[in-house]
Amino acid sequence: MGKKPTSVIIALTGPKHCGKTETGKALADLSGGTFLDLDTVAEELSGISPRELYKKGRDLFQEAETGAVSEVLRRASEDPGLYIIAAGGGIIDNRRAFETLKQSAVLVYLDIIEETAWKRIEAASSGGLPAFLEGAENPKQAHGELHRRRSGLYKNHAEITLSAENKDPAGISAEIWDIIKVRYL
């Protein structure tokens, strides 16, 4: 009797707007894997956008995010293969979701500098600041503190850390794939 096939799960982590989603899609195209965005899965399960979930309460958002991680892992166990997951920028602050993901996935941290992250948030803020910065007295300062703290945590937990600074998703995905093929396949 042969060994049951298992999945390889690559979880892209990093700050908001570091390129997790676009890099994940490019990596899925390059590798033939399946791409899933945890925010999208959370919305599919709850029927509510991540932004609205967060506005209803951080605990509610984190519960939905944890449910999304469980759902992705369920799919990967039922249909073995290569999965590329784009995690939300704040998953490091969701202990249950992060620990569950960490136990099952290769964690890849896409590193960008604080100023780049802030500029991307500003550029995308025509619909308002992200929910986690709304109401902050000084949103740029609050973002900076959060970015520095989370960056340190992500770097401590990641199995692979890559700079995403001034790189396109195709280039980043090629770097990731080269490492994954050697270390994990």
Residue stretches of the annotated binding site for substrate: 39, 89, 150
Q: Distance between CA atoms of 83 and 56, rounded to whole angstroms?
A: 30
Binding-site members for Mg(2+) are 21
Q: Distance between CA atoms of 169 and 100, rounded to whole angstroms?
A: 26
Binding-site members are 17-22, 39, 89, 150
Q: Distance between CA atoms of 147 and 114, rounded to whole angstroms?
A: 6
Burial class (CB in 10 A: 0-12, 13-18, 19+), 52: middle
How many other C-beta atoms are found inside a 10 Å radius of the C-beta of residue 136? Answer: 14
Handedness of CA 17, 20, 111, 142 (dihedral sign): positive
| Total residue length of the chain | 185
- Closest by CA to 88, choosing from 51, 125, 59, is 51
Q: Distance between CA atoms of 72 and 82, rounded to whole angstroms?
A: 12
Binding-site members for ATP are 17-22
